[in-house]
Amino acid sequence: MNFTVLLTVAVTVCLIGIALRLYVWFSQGIHPPPATSTLPQRLAAAAKALGGALFGPRLLTILKSIFLDLLFQQRVFDKNTLRWLAHGLIFTGFLLLFFLHALDSLITERLFSGYVSTLNPYLFLRNLFGVMVLAGVAIAVYRRITLRPQRLKTYAGDWAALVFVGGIILSGMLLEGTKMSSYSTFQRMVEEYGDVAGDEELQALEAFWVKDNGLVVAHKQVAVTSALVEQGREISGRSCIECHAANSSAFASFTLARITGPIAAAIGDAGAVNFLWYLHILFCLSFLAWLPFSKMFHIVSAPVSLIITRIMGKENGEPANVLTRQMIGLSACTHCGACSLECSSNMFFESFHNDFILPSEKVQFLKHIAAGKELDPATLKKLQQGLYICTSCDRCTNICPSGINLKELFVSSRYALLDRGIPETSMLSHFSFPLALAQSYVGDHRKALQVVEQLFRKSFTALADMVRPLTLEKGGTFSNPSYRSCYSCQRCTNICPVVRSYDNPGEALGMLPHQIIFSLGIGKVDLAMGAQMIWSCSTCYLCQEHCPNQVELCDIFYRLKNAAIAKIEEGGRS
Amino acid sequence: MKFAFFQGCNIPVRIEQYADSTEAVLQTFGIELVRIPEFNCCGYPMRNVDEKAYIMPSVRNMAIAEKAGLDIVVICNCCFASLQKARNVLATDPALQEEFNTLLAKEGLAYHGTTRIRHYLTVLHEDVGIEAIRNRLVNTCKGLKLSVIHGCHILRPREVTQFDDSFVPRITDEIVGVTGATSLDWRGRMECCGAALAGLNDELSRRLLQEKITGARQAGADCITPICSYCHLQFDTTQTNMATETPGTQVLPVLLLPQLLGLCLGLDERRLGIARNRTIAASDIDHIKSLLGPPVEEKKKKVRQQAA
């Protein structure tokens, strides 16, 4: 197939992909439901915000962001030098190769009048940039492998990105190296540009290129004597050197040529050059076509996200822009895992084995929610739990190299999911505390809490609802045996600040602290588990501290809470 | 002296001034607090849900400190209690310790229980000492009346927390006392701020909080001084939220103990972040500053003692 056809296909796919992703920016969102603002409304709001930013004092902030956040990558630099180095090497090397080499006829030729790709410094620089990219890729691979125990997840897409980038460079180097060793390329060059008189001179030139420039001649014997080489050097000087520097300056390809040269010559050097050319072009063009559909789209979205974050911080702007910012953020995630490595909740992942506890895994998955995709209940439940098990420490938001406002995304999606009415038992944890402080989604929170309360009422019988008299249960044991020492003085209930908060505590709390201990005494663990008291316990430990018989009331309440949640979760699974 | 500084999740993002002022005060006495970014949540938020999931994070944190060869200094009561609880549980449960260690080994960590968990107040009281503090004072703050609220999880259960006397705590009184300010004896001093119920039962949580605010006011407090970061957030943030909902409410200003101590040690008030407390108005700060004066009498006494 013709190169132009391939290029056209790749560019078309890439442009369609970019258009689709931009459409998603303005058409999808997580919470509140996307229907609240239409596409034209969101475009208008975005245009207004953009206009305001470009034609106002914020322009300086944008310029600062371009230098600090985009070019220098300050957010990564502040956190991890090795990762910064890897990104910097790939970013710089790849970009320079793209402009100076891939677009040489558009850029380099116009900038530098004497540009010939086989001359220095171009020959050398191409290799330098290529080696930079490869070094960056090597660090990235090393990081992905060594950080696996630290809960860094790697998907096929992450490896694909590294394979593409590395593949482009390696295939390019192999192509260049094979061309150096190829006799047919040599012949073509001599015919086109050479000033060679007769076979004798040609032999001398061959000898020189074999000796100094990695040419491999397999089909005939080439005498490489010093006299011939010297003569060849002279011929080369007058007919080649003007447009072709010594191959050794392309140090990487030249080194590779020493290994691949004999192989290429054995299987047919013209074919090998042709094959590698196609391989290199295919790598480049398929990368181009794949880019908008992969995490590599961050080349477009991360700069936008970073500039927005530099201007707005963690604050939300215009309501119509909130969803758009969410979507830009989601598309800017590179799945680098920096957030998960520093996530405060990362140890809870080890307990619950739920990938969604890790911020990097949540953010990767949220695009399905934003797209309104139907998900199976089990996945939804896991995602909801993962979204809830979060200390709201904002570390992920502060660390994200793409400047994604993860905090806002996670809080919004948390309530978007809870809105579906699936009970979330982790709401009963202290992860709810920062949410109560923030006072956002107050109504949604209360509603979701009621769903959990209903589930509790359904799962446990309250003391007040019992019709038959209480009977002694046999073999009733509880993991904390201190309840057995209770001698019914009721000091616990009398000192409890929660009990004294109610006019009719028995009704409000289901059971009073001493009654819970009594019910454990007669083996009614389930009855104790269903009492509102354990969830109204302020965990102040006054009862436990003041108990004359060392009944560990507060610890027992914690145990009961744990057991009640476990029982409900068990019921949900069966 | 060097400690690993365990800030927990709330302080770095919501109460930076607590960390900054504590650091500044301890630094005055040559104590360095090392910030360790690898620390994760102490586990406390998970306590209602699962005991093991609650303990494990603290074990990792202690293993990290162990690797750095440092004892841990904590500000937040709940973090303090979680770390102490984990230590306590593992001391009697070698099987659990082994289970956690297998997990930690993947990250090249191990828990042996060699790291001690210290509350910054204990460090001030024991390692620095009241006399050393007195000798460094530039000011006293006579006439300022504080309601200290200890918070529950630092005092109780005493077998686990091992902090001061859980029935008659004196560390805070002695530290407040050295600044010349008065630590009031008031009803809520050792009781609950309601934080553990926030988000689960806001009504009850706020009722407990309001009870403390009213109690402190009735005792004549100029400021409330929460020790725990959860208490701080209740008094500083939730109180502000409540006041916005009921216009016309006068808020009770929050002043942290290291902020008061810092003022008396002559530290820059911006470094102590006093104005970052939401409930403290500029006029409150001015009032506190107007009470600052050189510790005249004590010095005279000392001179006399030395002469004698």
Helix, strand or coil, per DSSP, at residue A171: helix
Task: Find, in chain A, the residue whose alpha carbon is nearest to that of B245.
Answer: A439
- Look at residue A317 in the predicted model and tell me its pLDDT: 81
User: Which residues contact residue B60 at a Cβ distance below 8 angstroms, ignoring those fewer than 6 apart?
Assistant: A347, B40, B100, B104, B107, B109, B111
Q: Report, as an integer, the average pLDDT of A305-320.
A: 90
Burial of A478 (0-12, 13-18, 19+ CB in 10 A): middle
Length of chain B: 308
- Look at residue B298 in the predicted model and tell me its pLDDT: 53
Indicate yes or no: CB of A501 within 8 angstroms of CB of B198: no
Q: Report, as an integer, the average pLDDT of A299-322.
A: 91
Per-residue pLDDT band at A438 (split at 50, 70, 90): very high
Q: Is the pLDDT of residue B301 over 60?
A: no
Per-residue pLDDT band at A221 (split at 50, 70, 90): confident
Q: Which two tokens stand for residue B202?
A: 């806001």
Task: Find, in chain B, the residue whose alpha carbon is nearest to that of A439.
Answer: B241
Q: pTM, whole model, 2 decimals? A: 0.93
Q: Is B241 on the interface with A (CB under 8 A)?
A: yes
- Look at residue B299 in the predicted model and tell me its pLDDT: 53
Pairing of strands B182-183, B145-149: parallel
Torsion angle of C-alpha atoms B184, B185, B191, B195, degrees rounded to 10: -10
* CA angle A23–A26–A32, rounded 5-degree value: 135
Q: Report, as an integer, the average pLDDT of B215-238.
A: 98
What would the pLDDT profile of A547-563 be if each residue is shown by its tens digit?
999 999 999 999 999 99
- The CA distance from A296 to A316, in Å, is 26
Correct CATH for B2-119 of 3.40.50.720, 3.40.50.300, 1.20.140.10, 1.20.1050.140: 1.20.1050.140
Sequence letter at residue B208: L
DSSP state of A30: S
Indicate yes or no: CB of B51 within 8 angstroms of CB of A544: no
- The CA distance from A14 to A277, in Å, is 21
- The CA distance from B199 to A432, in Å, is 5
DSSP letters spanning A92-108: HHHHHHIIIIITTTTTH
The residues with which B149 forms a beta bridge, in sequence order, are B226
Helix, strand or coil, per DSSP, at residue B223: strand
Torsion angle of C-alpha atoms A426, A431, A435, A437, degrees rounded to 10: 140
Omega cis (within 30) before A34: no
Helix runs in A69-155, H state only: 74-79, 81-97, 108-111, 122-146
- Look at residue A36 in the predicted model and tell me its pLDDT: 67
C-alpha distance from A534 to closest chain B C-alpha (Å): 10
Q: Is the pLDDT of residue B285 over 90?
A: yes
- Look at residue A172 in the predicted model and tell me its pLDDT: 97
Integer CA distances (angstroms), B161 to A19, A549, B142, B154, B232, in order? 59, 19, 32, 6, 20
Q: Which two tokens stand for residue B201?
A: 């039962």
Indicate yes or no: CB of B45 within 8 angstroms of CB of A433: yes
Residue of B47, B107, B158 lying closest to A545 (CB–CB): B158
CB contacts, 8 Å: B195 with chain A: 433
Find residues 115-174 of chain A whose CB sits inside 8 Å of chain B.
Answer: 149-150
What would the pLDDT profile of A288-305 be if each residue is shown by its tens digit?
999 999 999 999 999 999
Q: Is the pLDDT of residue A1 over 90?
A: no
- With a pLDDT cut of 90, the percent of chain A lying above it is 87
- Look at residue A471 in the predicted model and tell me its pLDDT: 78
Q: Is the pLDDT of residue B273 over 70?
A: yes
Q: For residue B279, count other CB atoms closer than 10 A to its CB.
A: 19
What would the pLDDT profile of A158-173 be if each residue is shown by its tens digit?
999 999 999 999 999 9
Cβ–Cβ under 8 Å, residues B84 and B117: yes
ipTM above 0.90, yes or no: yes
* CA angle A419–A421–A423, rounded 5-degree value: 115
Find residues 508-527 of chain A whose CB sits inside 8 Å of chain B.
Answer: none
What order do you get walking across the sheet with B2-6 strand by strand?
Answer: B32-35, B2-6, B71-74, B117-119
Per-residue pLDDT band at B296 (split at 50, 70, 90): confident
Sequence letter at residue B10: N
CB contacts, 8 Å: B157 with chain A: 541, 544-545, 552, 554-555
Q: Is the pLDDT of residue A13 over 80?
A: yes
Q: Is A540 on the interface with B (CB under 8 A)?
A: yes
Cβ–Cβ under 8 Å, residues A330 and A363: yes
Q: Is the pLDDT of residue B74 over 80?
A: yes
- Look at residue A293 in the predicted model and tell me its pLDDT: 97
Chosen from B14, B15, B46, B64 to mutate, greatest number of chain A CBs within 10 A = B46
Q: Mean pLDDT, chain B, as a whole number?
A: 95
Q: Which residue has the tokens 């080994």?
A: B105
Q: Report, as an integer, the average pLDDT of B273-294.
A: 97
Question: In chain B, what are the domain boundaries?
Answer: 2-119, 138-293
CB contacts, 8 Å: A394 with chain B: 13
What would the pLDDT profile of A111-156 be if each residue is shown by its tens digit?
999 899 999 999 999 999 999 999 999 999 999 999 999 999 999 9
DSSP letters spanning A277-339: HHHHHHHHHHHHHHGGGSGGGHHHHHHHHHHHHHHHTT---SHHHHHHHHHHHHHH-----HH
Q: Is the pLDDT of residue B43 over 70?
A: yes
Indicate yes or no: CB of B199 within 8 angstroms of CB of A149: no
Helix runs in A147-239, H state only: 156-181, 183-193, 198-213, 226-239
**Phi, psi angles (nearest 5°) of residue A42:** -70, -40
Per-residue pLDDT band at A574 (split at 50, 70, 90): low
Say which CATH class B138-293 falls into.
alpha beta
Among candidate residues A304, A302, A334, the one with its CA nearest the CA of residue A321? A304
Cα A223 vs. chain centroid, distance in angstroms? 57
Chosen from A449, A492, A538 to mutate, greatest number of chain B CBs within 10 A = A538
Indicate yes or no: CB of B40 within 8 angstroms of CB of A539: no
Chosen from A314, A424, A539, A570 to mutate, greatest number of chain B CBs within 10 A = A539
- Look at residue A31 in the predicted model and tell me its pLDDT: 78
Lowest-confidence pick of A56-60, A476-480, B34-38, B175-179: A476-480
Q: Is A453 on the interface with B (CB under 8 A)?
A: no
Among candidate residues A229, A237, A198, A227, the one with its CA nearest the CA of residue A211? A229
Cβ–Cβ under 8 Å, residues B130 and B168: no
CB contacts, 8 Å: A569 with chain B: none
Q: Is the pLDDT of residue B124 over 80?
A: yes
Task: Find, in chain A, the residue whose alpha carbon is nearest to that of B44.
Answer: A430
Among candidate residues A141, A67, A126, A139, the one with its CA nearest the CA of residue A94? A126
Pairing of strands B140-141, B292-293: antiparallel
Residue of B47, B57, B166 lying closest to A558 (CB–CB): B47
First to last CA, chain A: 58
Q: Mean pLDDT, chain A, as a whole number?
A: 93
- The CA distance from A310 to A321, in Å, is 16
**Phi, psi angles (nearest 5°) of residue B250:** -90, 130
Chosen from A342, A351, A479, A546 to mutate, greatest number of chain B CBs within 10 A = A351
Indicate yes or no: CB of A344 within 8 angstroms of CB of B40: yes
Work out how many CB contacts closer than 8 A connect A with B.
164
Q: Is the pLDDT of residue B300 over 90?
A: no
Helix, strand or coil, per DSSP, at residue B183: strand
The residues with which B141 forms a beta bridge, in sequence order, are B292
Cβ–Cβ under 8 Å, residues A390 and A410: yes
Q: Report, as an integer, the average pLDDT of A427-442.
A: 95
First to last CA, chain B: 34
Q: Is B35 on the interface with A (CB under 8 A)?
A: no
Note whether B2-119 and B138-293 share their fold.
no
Indicate yes or no: CB of A437 within 8 angstroms of CB of B37: no
Q: Is A458 on the interface with B (CB under 8 A)?
A: no
Residue of A347, A538, A558 lying closest to B57 (CB–CB): A347
Q: Is A559 on the interface with B (CB under 8 A)?
A: yes
C-alpha distance from A36 to closest chain B C-alpha (Å): 28
- Look at residue B272 in the predicted model and tell me its pLDDT: 98
Indicate yes or no: CB of B152 within 8 angstroms of CB of A536: no
